[in-house]
């Protein structure tokens, strides 16, 4: 279980770092042109996108850094819980926009983040 949680945590860390930095540094219009699934960014103000990006980066750092350093490892499941909340909002937004396929993808990330949160709180907690 511990290995599975580490693998999923590493995957989520990479995904949220990439996504977060994209939201922080790629202009909104350019991001919207990257794919049909990215047009949702036009529904938000640039400052809101940057805030979402910053939260994703903080969540990604919170998933891995406390565990690697052994400092406050309780932050790992808390970060996973925060990312679960972000992805819940993403799924709701996708469903409202009628983007069912994208909602399924976001739901997958939601499930993985929730699995890490539950796994690190109850199934295989980190000690430190």
Planar angle of CA 37, 88, 49, nearest 5 degrees: 55
Does the pTM surpass 0.85? The reply is yes
pLDDT tens-place string over residues 65-85: 999 999 999 999 999 999 999
The mean pLDDT value of the chain amounts to 94
The arithmetic mean of pLDDT across residues 31-51, rounded, is 91
């Amino acid at each position: 279980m511990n290995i599975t949680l580490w693998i999923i945590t590493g995957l989520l860390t990479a995904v949220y770092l990439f996504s977060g930095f994209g939201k922080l540094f790629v202009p909104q219009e350019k991001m919207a042109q990257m794919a049909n699934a990215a047009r949702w960014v036009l529904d938000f103000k640039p400052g809101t996108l940057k805030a979402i990006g910053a939260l994703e980066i903080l969540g990604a750092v919170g998933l891995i850094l406390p565990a690697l350093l052994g400092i406050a490892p309780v932050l790992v499941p808390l970060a996973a819980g925060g990312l679960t909340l972000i992805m819940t909002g993403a799924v709701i937004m996708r469903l409202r926009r009628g983007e069912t396929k994208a909602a399924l993808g976001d739901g997958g990330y939601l499930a993985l983040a929730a699995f890490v949160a539950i796994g690190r709180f109850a199934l295989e907690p980190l000690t430190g």
